Structures are given as C-alpha cells and as structure tokens.
Amino acid sequence: KAGVTQTPRYLIKTRGQQVTLSCSPISGHRSVSWYQQTPGQGLQFLFEYFSETQRNKGNFPGRFSGRQFSNSRSEMNVSTLELGDSALYLCASRVFGRDNSPLHFGNGTRLTVT
C-alpha cells in the first residue's frame, strides 16, 4: 500500500507570495492532518480535515488555510509568506472513526521563503 504522498518536495518562494502544498493520503484513510516542523518549535499541529470539513485547528494565523476534496486528498495554502514560514510541512493521514488510530506521515514539503 502506498504511503502518504506530498508534492512538491521542495519549494522556494519570495516574501509576500502565496503557496499551495498538496497531499494524497494512504488509500482508505479519510482524515488528513497538517503539521509544521521547524528547528526552533519542533512539530506543531496546523489543522485536521475529515469529510471535507476542518475538524481541528492549531494556533496559527489565518494566512494558513487548507481544504480537503471528496477523494480525501488535501491541500494547504499559505498566503502573504513571511521568512518565518520557512519550514518542513508534513501531511499525515489516519483511519477516522477508530478510537484515535495513529497518524502516518508523508516525507513533507520543504518550503524556503527568501
């Protein structure tokens, strides 16, 4: 079974631009979550989607948004990029409905903002 797939693997953007990252979950997984990983803050929860609805949201500004499609694939968008948005963005999926089934992560998209 294929794992969580994230595209692109690397991105370089300029301050003020916006970016869209894509995630395809493991087949059969209907919940998708996004995390930001930086050396200073570690892994921080951004948001979770299930059935095209945002279920939970972390403590990030409104510039960070996401959505989920009917096939469970997800995208996250960051608008008006800041230097501090440079990070590894990780997508994770799980089987929703079981009591807190574990998350399985993709290899991330490395975003660099210059």
Per 3-state DSSP, what percentage of the chain is helix, strand, and coil (rounded to 5)?
Answer: 5, 55, 45
What's the min distance (Å) between Cβ of 44 and other proteins? 8
State the minimum distance, in angstroms, from the CB of residue 102 to other proteins: 5
Q: Which of residues 84-103 bind other proteins (CB under 8 A)?
A: 90, 92, 94, 99-100, 102-103
Q: What φ, ψ does residue 85 adopt, rounded to 5°?
A: -85, -5
DSSP 102: P
Residues 19-38, interacting with other proteins (CB under 8 A): 31, 33, 35
**Helix or strand run (H / E) with residue 65:** strand 64-68
Binding residues for other proteins, per CB under 8 A?
A: 4, 31, 33, 35, 42-45, 48, 55-56, 58, 90, 92, 94, 99-100, 102-108
